[in-house]
Amino acid sequence: MNQLFSDFSCPPQHDVKRFLTNSAIRFEREDKARSYLILDDDNGDLLGYFSITFKEITYPSEAVSNTANKRLGAVTDAEVDDKVRVRAYLIGQLAKNKAIEGNQINLEIILSEIYGVINEARELIGGRAVILECAQDDNLVALYERHGFKKIEMPPNHNGDITMYIVIRD
């Protein structure tokens, strides 16, 4: 496993390799997140991976439209009138292995795998909101927007990342 992980590369997002090599297995053991490897069927190369967990976020109610808040399943925060809370599946990590020449994996394929896992979880516990936190990079944000994600207009998190969401249904 260590060899498989050590060959993984996803510049300039070095944090995704750091998570894979230093945290993914520990997070599994501690039930903090589940990580999924996407392997080449022919040779077993690690093409990409993603990690999923569940998270509750709080944001100003005006950060998204009332319709979006309803679709997300937002509930008013009893302690703060102008805030809402949403419980969501968090895509904690998502990466393509750029060390593999000709790696055909892309965001659409990785998201398809993610939604497959989330739909299995939805059968057991419900939920429809999916969030991710990404760097404030116009190209990256545009890529996620092309795949249906929308920004939640709230201050960046402690890493300077913004939060984006999508609502999935059957």
Confidence of residue 138 (pLDDT cuts 50, 70, 90): very high
Q: Higher pLDDT residue, 169 or 120?
A: 120
Does the pLDDT value for residue 153 go beyond 90?
no
Domains in the chain with CATH codes: 2-167 (3.40.630.30)
Helix, strand, coil content of the chain in percent (nearest 5): 35, 30, 35
Task: Return mean pLDDT, the chain.
Answer: 89
What integer is the mean pLDDT of 129-139?
Answer: 92
Query: What is the Rg, in whole angstroms, of the alpha carbon atoms belonging to the chain?
Result: 17
pLDDT of residue 34: 96
| Least confident range of 50-54, 136-140, 158-162 | 158-162
| Phi/psi at 141 (5° precision) | -60, -45
- Residue 162 identity (one-letter amino acid): I
- Residue 47 identity (one-letter amino acid): L
Nearest to 90 by CA among 55, 123, 119: 55
Does the pLDDT value for residue 38 go beyond 80?
yes
Q: How far is CA 50 from CA 34, 67, 83, 120, in A?
A: 8, 29, 30, 16
Does the pLDDT value for residue 1 go beyond 70?
no
pLDDT over 90 percentage in the chain: 56
Q: What is the pLDDT of residues 65-112, one digit of tens each?
A: 989 999 999 998 666 678 899 999 999 999 998 988 889 999 999 999
